[in-house]
Structure 1
Amino acid sequence: MNNSHQPIGIFDSGIGGTSIWKEIHQLLPNESTIYLSDSKNAPYGQKTPSEILNLSIKNTEYLIAKGAKIIVVACNTATTNAIQHLRNNYNIPFIGIEPAIKPASLNTKTSKIGILATKGTLNSALFEKTSSTLNSEITIIEQVGEGLVELIEEGKIHSEEMTNLLEKYISPMLEKGCDYIVLGCTHYPYLQPQIQKIAGKNVQIIDSGEAVARQLKNVMSEHNLLNNSKTQSSNIFYINKEKSVLENILKDYKNAKTEFLDF
């Protein structure tokens, strides 16, 4: 049975994964999408591995019930803690998110890269495994972005509180000579302009959104899941908390529909 017309499923601990959705929508505009924002349980990064796994299973089963042909785990913490289990237990492809420390390590001139991520990502076995493959001369300065996801979820991206936290987290990386800062949470690209202002023009800030979209397209092509028709795509965003912040982020996308989910 050809299921190429079915939607791409995407889930995150909140609205941050919309940064990934935007890259996907730009690359694959004909594809319909279903996005699940589990904002009620954000951030995942402060939860235990078993809690993260159970929430990821719940999100996955909801998206499969909605007809998802492939699922993007648009959350670094959920990827690092749950994606292997999901791949082992569900009969559809999964695309995960990893912090872009590999490209940063290949391009750094100072051999020092900073990573801003959640506690759940930095403490995970997958992140440790990825880090261990880097050149031994590379120094990684890790920083837990405590409080950042909560402020983004509350729509306080440009608040004084956000500015103070970012300066607190970014300054030590700069003092230690980092010339790359990796954003290890899908919420954080919404903070990139502020981080760039603090870091200065000589520091490169990277995330994995574009690479994830390309990987998604490649995997869909391998599994004959690409929708080649020219029919109008639908993009539905489910959220289990107040919709206004999500709607503001999506205000430029006329074919994006938000719905409250009692989930």
Structure 2
Amino acid sequence: MSSAAPVGVFDSGVGGLSVLAELRRAMPHEEFLYLADTAHVPYGARSDDDIRELTDRAVSALHARGVKAVVVACNTASAFSLSHLRARFAMPIVGLVPAVKPAVEATRSGVVGVLATPGTLRGTLLADVIRQFAEPAGVQVLQAVSRELVPLVETGQADSPQTREVLRDVLAPLAGAGADQLVLGCTHYPFLAASLQAEYGDRFVLVDSGAAVARHTRNVLARNMLLTPHTRPGGVTYLVTGDLEAAQPVITTLSAQNVHNREDTPAEAVRAFSGRTTPLRIEPIYT
């Protein structure tokens, strides 16, 4: 396996762009292939077997294109597919774990909220981290679920009146119970920050796992001697299973949002993101 090969990143749709941004900050010289399975998003309401089958298909497609590792940048896919993927593929497979641990460590009220999809709540990963970190600390974890938020982000409505209304409804019980940390249990949800701020102000500290996953991925590549030898800025090719014309403006907008909304971007990562004056490389893949 060549260390110069790209890193694959997979999500059911555009939500994994929040993780991709962190990966590029941590590894600005790497090349990435980002696969968005927009033909089948959202995964959260699908059956367990369907989620595993779709995830396997996507990772197989990335493997066929020669990636050296895959980041499953989807909480729902991670909850059901990691063991299967690691048994099938010899390359490193990195998944997501809901960021309950840092939320438990930071809470002052003793109440932590988790905003997730139906699929993530059905899986074992969330229950495992609550049992491992929250219960021994005596921290109460309250869960909120929505089927509407992922489609809203996918259609470019992350900061819209409709999204704010959904957030107001699903998070009211958590706010009323005194939750001060909100774990974003889906990679789409960091894009809801503006709507969350508009509805709840500073009520919640938003916690997601993107930066931690990026650090872990870099460490995994380093241990396997797979970090790129290149010193030039890396790039991204975006692969879309669904409607390319519908996905392109959303990917373009969210990718730009990821770049410009961070004040603590390292200098070399700024150089890696700079010069985006040409259209993003977005290609169709299987449907």
Kindly tell me: are residues 135 and 183 of structure 1, through their superposed partners in 2, closer, same or farther at Cα, counting changes over 3 Å? closer
Q: Which amino acid aligns with 2:281?
A: K
Residue 110 of structure 1 and its aligned partner are, at CA, apart by: 1.2
Aligned to 2:172: 171
Q: Does 1:250 align with 2:274?
A: no
Q: For structure 2, which runs of at least 5 residues remain unmatched after alignment?
A: 260-272
Aligned to 1:80: 79
Q: Which amino acid aligns with 2:252?
A: E
Residue 88 of structure 1 and its aligned partner are, at CA, apart by: 1.1
Residue 158 of structure 1 and its aligned partner are, at CA, apart by: 2.1
Aligned to 2:43: 44
**Contact 2:114–2:144 under 8 Å retained in 1:** yes
Q: Which amino acid aligns with 1:101?
A: V
Aligned to 1:207: 208
Q: Which amino acid aligns with 1:197?
A: A
Aligned to 2:263: none
Q: Distance in 2 between matches of 1:159 and 1:135?
A: 33
Residue 58 of structure 1 and its aligned partner are, at CA, apart by: 0.2
**Contact 1:170–1:195 under 8 Å retained in 2:** no
Aligned to 2:158: 157
Q: More displaced, 246-255 or 106-115?
A: 246-255
Q: Which amino acid aligns with 1:247?
A: T
Residue 236 of structure 1 and its aligned partner are, at CA, apart by: 0.1
Q: Distance in 1 between matches of 2:187 and 2:233?
A: 27
Aligned CA RMSD, in angstroms, stands at 1.5
TM-score (norm 1): 0.95
Residue 232 of structure 1 and its aligned partner are, at CA, apart by: 4.5
Q: How many residues align?
A: 262
Q: Distance in 1 between matches of 2:229 and 2:286?
A: 34
Aligned to 2:267: none
Secondary structure at the residue paired with 1:106?
helix
Secondary structure at the residue paired with 1:155?
coil
TM-score (norm 2): 0.87
Q: Distance in 1 between matches of 2:2 and 2:76?
A: 29
Secondary structure at the residue paired with 1:46?
coil
Residue 261 of structure 1 and its aligned partner are, at CA, apart by: 2.5
Kindly tell me: are residues 109 and 8 of structure 1, through their superposed partners in 2, closer, same or farther at Cα, counting changes over 3 Å? same
Q: Which amino acid aligns with 2:173?
A: P
Taking the TM superposition and a 5 Å limit, the aligned residue runs for 1:94-243 are 94-136=93-135, 137-240=138-241, 241=243, 242=246, 243=248
Structure 1 residues 94-130: Cα deviation after superposition (integer angstroms, max 9, x where no partner): 1111110111111111111000010100111222122
Q: More displaced, 153-162 or 205-214?
A: 153-162
Q: Distance in 1 between matches of 2:187 and 2:211?
A: 12
Q: For structure 1, which runs of at least 5 residues remain unmatched after alignment?
A: none
Residue 131 of structure 1 and its aligned partner are, at CA, apart by: 1.5
